[in-house]
A and B are shown apart, each in its own frame.
Chain A
Amino acid sequence: MATTADQATQSELKIVEDATCTFCGCVCDDITLKVQDNHIVEAKKACILGKAWFLNHDIEDRPSCLIDGQPAELEAGYRRAAEILCQAYYPIVYGLSDSPCEAQRVAVSIGDWVGANIDTTTSVCHGPSGMAFQGVGEVTATLGEVANRGDLIIFWGSNPAESHPRHFTKYSLMPKGLFVPNGRKDRTCVMVDVRKTKSAKAADLFFQIRPRKDFEALWTLRALAKGIPLDAQLVEQETGIELSRWQELMDKMKASKFGVIFFGMGLTMTRGKHCNSEALLALTRDMNAYTRFIAKPNRGHGNVTGADNVVAWRTGYQFGVNHARGYPRFNPGEYTTSDTLARREADAALIVASDPMSNFSQPAREHLASIPYIALDPKDTPTMRGAAVAFTVATYGINTGGTVYRMDDVPIPLRPAFPSPHPSDQAVLEGIERYVLQMRGVGVL
Chain B
Amino acid sequence: MTQSLLKIAGGTVYDPANGIDGQVRDLWIRGGRIVEPPSDPAERPTQTIDAAGMVVMPGGVDIHCHIAGPKVNVARKMRPEEKRKAPPVMRTANTHSGTMGSVPSTFATGYKYAGMGYTTAFDAAIPPLAARHAHEEFHDTPCLDKGFYVLMGNNHYLMQAIHDGESEKLRTFIAWLLGAAKGYAPKLVNPGGVEVWKHHASGNVSGLDSIVDHFDVTPRQIVAEVARAANDIGLPHPVHIHCNNLGMPGNWTTTLETMKALEGHRGHITHIQFHSYGGGEGDENTFNSKVAPLAEYVNANENITIDVGQVMFGETTSMTGDGPLGYFLHNVYKGKWFSGDTEMESGCGITPIRYRQKSLVHALQWAIGLEWYLMVDDPWRVVMSTDHPNGGSFLAYPQIIRLLMDRSYRQDVLKTCPAKVRERSQLGDLNREYTLSEIAIITRAGPARILGLTDKGHLGVGADADVTVYTPDENKETMFALPRHVIKGGRVMIEHGEIRSTPQGKTLHVSPAYDEGGVADIRTWFEKYYSIRFNNYAVDASYLDEAEAVP
Which residues of A come within 8 Å of B, CB atoms?
Answer: 17-18, 20, 29-30, 101, 105, 109, 112-113, 115, 130, 133-145, 147-149, 170-171, 177-179, 257-258, 285, 288-292, 294, 308-310, 312-318, 323, 325-330, 403, 405-406, 409-413, 441-445
Contact = CB atoms under 8 A, between A and B. Distances in A.
B221 interface: no
Interface string B122-147: 00000001101100110110100000
B80 interface: yes
23 contacts: A29-B536, A130-B77, A136-B337, A137-B78, A137-B338, A137-B351, A143-B531, A148-B344, A177-B529, A288-B327, A292-B201, A310-B136, A315-B99, A317-B80, A317-B83, A326-B91, A328-B88, A328-B98, A330-B83, A410-B129, A443-B94, A445-B94, A445-B501
A437 to B, nearest CB: 10
Nearest to B339: A139
**Chain B interface size, under 10 / 10 to 19 / 20 to 34 / 35 or more:** 35 or more
A442 B95 CA distance: 9
Contacts of B95: 444
B529 A411 contact: no
Given A137-B350, A292-B200, A327 B132 contact: no
B195 to A, nearest CB: 11
A419 B136 CA distance: 24
A112 B198 contact: no
B96 to A, nearest CB: 5
The 10 closest A-B pairs by CB, nearest first: A144-B343, A316-B99, A144-B531, A327-B88, A137-B336, A141-B341, A411-B132, A137-B337, A445-B501, A327-B97
B201 A135 contact: no
Contacts, number: 209
Contacts of A313: 68, 72-73, 76, 105-106, 136-137, 140
Given A137-B350, A309-B73, A316-B101, 20 more contacts: A133-B78, A137-B339, A139-B339, A140-B341, A142-B340, A142-B342, A142-B531, A147-B343, A148-B529, A289-B202, A315-B97, A326-B88, A326-B97, A327-B98, A409-B70, A411-B132, A412-B132, A412-B532, A444-B96, A445-B501
B502 interface: yes
B140 to A, nearest CB: 6
A291 B201 CA distance: 4
Interface in B211-237: 214
Contact of B91 (A112, A148, A318): A112
Contact of B99 (A142, A170, A327): A327
B533 interface: yes
Nearest to B100: A316
B285 interface: no
A326 B91 CA distance: 5
A316 B83 contact: yes
B89 interface: yes
A391 to B, nearest CB: 24
Nearest to B105: A316
Given A140-B340, A441-B93, A179 B76 contact: no
Given A142-B341, A292-B201, A442 B130 contact: no
B254 to A, nearest CB: 24
Contacts of A18: 533, 535-536
A410 B346 CA distance: 13
A177 B198 CA distance: 14
Interface string B191-207: 00000001111110000
A327 B199 contact: no
Given A144-B344, A312-B76, A139 B337 contact: yes
Interface in B338-377: 338-344, 350-351
B531 A410 contact: yes
B199 A257 contact: yes
Nearest to B499: A445
Given A142-B342, A312-B76, A411 B97 contact: no
B513 interface: no
Contacts of A30: 533
A289 B101 contact: no
Interface string B500-523: 111000000000000000000000
* Centre residue among B91, B501, B531 by max chain A CB count within 10 A: B531
A321 to B, nearest CB: 9
B300 interface: no
B222 to A, nearest CB: 19
Given A139-B338, A142-B129, A314 B96 contact: yes
B77 A317 contact: yes
A374 to B, nearest CB: 21
A308 B77 contact: yes
B409 to A, nearest CB: 33
Interface string B35-78: 00000000000000000000000000000000010101100111
A310 B105 CA distance: 10
A248 B214 CA distance: 30
Contact of A410 (B99, B130, B140, B201): B130
A135 B73 CA distance: 16
Contacts of A328: 83, 88, 97-99, 105
Contacts of B91: 112-113, 115, 323, 326-327
Contacts of A327: 88-91, 97-99
A411 B133 contact: yes
B107 interface: yes
A66 B91 CA distance: 32
B531 A314 contact: no
Interface string B460-494: 00000000000000000000000000000000000
A135 B99 contact: no
B77 A258 contact: no
A145 to B, nearest CB: 5
B453 to A, nearest CB: 26
Nearest to A109: B96
Nearest to B68: A313
Contacts of B79: 134
A62 to B, nearest CB: 30
Max count, chain B CB within 10 A of own CB: residue among A142, A149, A179, A329? A142
B243 to A, nearest CB: 24
A330 B80 contact: yes
Given A137-B337, A327-B91, A445-B501, A403 B199 contact: no
B323 to A, nearest CB: 10
A341 to B, nearest CB: 23
A252 to B, nearest CB: 15
Name which of B70, B136, B532 has the most chain A CB atoms within 10 A of its CB: B532
B76 A410 contact: no
Contact of A412 (B76, B142, B536): B536
A138 B84 CA distance: 21
Contacts of B83: 316-317, 328, 330
Contacts of A29: 532-533, 536
A140 B90 CA distance: 34
A293 B297 CA distance: 41
A175 B290 CA distance: 48
B531 A170 contact: yes
Contacts of A179: 199, 214
Contacts of A148: 343-344, 529
B94 A105 contact: no
Given A145-B343, A327-B89, A442-B94, A138 B338 contact: yes
A148 B137 CA distance: 29
Given A18-B533, A327-B89, A412-B536, A318 B129 contact: no
Contacts of B73: 309, 312-313
Contacts of B536: 18, 20, 29, 412-413
Nearest to A309: B73
B132 A142 contact: no
A139 B350 CA distance: 10
B395 to A, nearest CB: 16
Given A137-B338, A312-B73, A409-B70, A112 B535 contact: no
B339 to A, nearest CB: 4
